[in-house]
């Protein structure tokens, strides 16, 4: 669970548009791969205002502290939060609260937080309907949930789940939340001198249907992550099960049933058999062709 450069810069964009305040709950203690000078430089470039801060509080990990990386609390305080709490399923990283998101959250935590942030937690929670109900319960009215780096394509066995962006769009929309940001990015992470680096993320805005043509193998070997921000509006819920938006966009009412089609003739079956290798070749060539993706809106 961590906050690399791309996630930090997307958080700065969110802070610029809707300044952070109040009490934050981070799900899992975040490992931050960002230094104070980097954060200040990016904030100036992106037009975001940071809260006043003194000497940097460095990471709890010695390798990152030697590189000047911030602690999770220091990063979030600089982003504008007055209070920062952490929760995890165990105390192995020193979280403030022990919280199993497969179970209902305790009554005293309901409505306590202005923002809930996670980046690398939800895919490890088996009970996903309970997870989203808990996110709803933890937030005060008008609060925000921020998914900082939800794993999408090519995260096999990283957790129980990989997420399609349509899940977040359809769930939050069906339950009356307001989606503030829904982006995706491809990335190739690697370690260098104790820091988490990757090639520059090309941030692309997700809109329903923009990835339909890539649903089967379209992202090839690259890993894909998601950044999602949603606001709990008055009357928002977490119990409505959404129908996937693809079906609403593509499926018309079923036509009246007709008589069964006649069986194929031997000549038609032979033609199908001859065309099959050509269909396979067409599919392989299509995967090598340039992919049509939404435009890049930022490079972080």
Q: Which two tokens stand for residue 255?
A: 């036509």
pLDDT in tens, 49-81: 999 989 999 999 999 999 999 999 999 999 999
- Residue 277, pLDDT score: 78
User: How much of the chain is helix, strand and coil, in % rounded to 5?
Assistant: 30, 25, 45
Length of the chain: 300
pLDDT at 261 over 70: no
Domain ranges of the chain: 2-248+294-299
pLDDT in tens, 15-41: 999 999 999 999 999 999 999 999 999
Least confidently predicted of 126-130, 138-142, 281-285: 281-285
pLDDT at 262 over 90: no
What mean pLDDT do residues 136-160 have?
97
Contact 296, 204 (CB under 8 A): yes
- Residue 269, pLDDT score: 75
Is 73 in a helix, a strand, or coil?
helix
- CA–CA gap between residue 12 and residue 199 (Å, rounded): 19
User: Could you say which architecture CATH assigns to the domain 2-248+294-299?
Assistant: 3-Layer(aba) Sandwich (3.40)
pLDDT at 293 over 90: yes
Contact 15, 77 (CB under 8 A): no
pLDDT at 128 over 90: yes
pLDDT in tens, 94-103: 999 999 999 9
- Residue 120, pLDDT score: 92
- Residue 286, pLDDT score: 63
pLDDT at 265 over 90: no
- Residue 110, pLDDT score: 98
Q: How confident is the model at residue 257 (pLDDT cuts 50, 70, 90)?
A: low
From the list 159, 211, 155, the residue with the least C-alpha distance to 183 is 211
Q: What percent of the chain has pLDDT over 70?
A: 94
pLDDT in tens, 202-223: 999 999 999 999 998 888 788 9
pTM: 0.89
- Residue 219, pLDDT score: 85
What mean pLDDT do residues 136-141 have?
98
């Amino acid at each position: 669970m961590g906050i690399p450069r791309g996630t930090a810069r997307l958080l700065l964009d969110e802070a610029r548009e809707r300044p952070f305040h109040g009490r934050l709950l981070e799900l899992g203690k975040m490992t931050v791969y960002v230094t104070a000078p980097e954060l200040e430089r990016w904030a100036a470039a992106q037009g975001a205002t940071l809260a006043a801060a003194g000497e940097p509080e460095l990471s709890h990990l010695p390798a990152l502290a030697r590189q000047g990386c911030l602690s999770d609390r220091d990063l979030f305080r600089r982003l504008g939060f007055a209070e920062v709490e952490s929760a995890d399923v165990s105390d192995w990283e020193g979280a403030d609260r022990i919280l199993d998101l497969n179970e209902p959250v305790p009554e005293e935590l309901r409505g306590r937080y202005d923002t809930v942030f996670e980046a690398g937690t939800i895919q490890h929670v088996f009970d996903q309907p309970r997870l989203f109900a808990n996110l709803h319960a933890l937030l005060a009215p008008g609060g925000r949930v921020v998914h900082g780096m939800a794993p999408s394509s090519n995260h096999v066995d990283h957790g129980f789940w990989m997420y399609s962006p349509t899940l977040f769009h359809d769930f939050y929309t069906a339950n009356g939340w307001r989606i503030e940001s829904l982006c995706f990015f491809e990335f190739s992470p690697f370690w260098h001198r104790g820091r988490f680096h990757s090639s520059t993320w090309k941030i692309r805005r997700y809109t329903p249907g923009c990835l339909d043509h890539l649903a089967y193998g379209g992202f090839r070997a690259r890993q894909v992550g998601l950044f999602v921000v949603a606001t709990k509006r008055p009357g928002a819920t977490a119990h409505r099960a959404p129908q996937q938006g693809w079906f609403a966009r593509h499926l018309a009412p079923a036509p009246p049933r007709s008589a069964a089609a006649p069986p194929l003739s031997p000549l038609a079956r032979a033609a199908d058999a001859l065309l099959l290798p050509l269909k396979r070749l067409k599919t392989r060539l299509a995967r090598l062709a340039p992919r049509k993706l939404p435009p890049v809106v930022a490079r972080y």
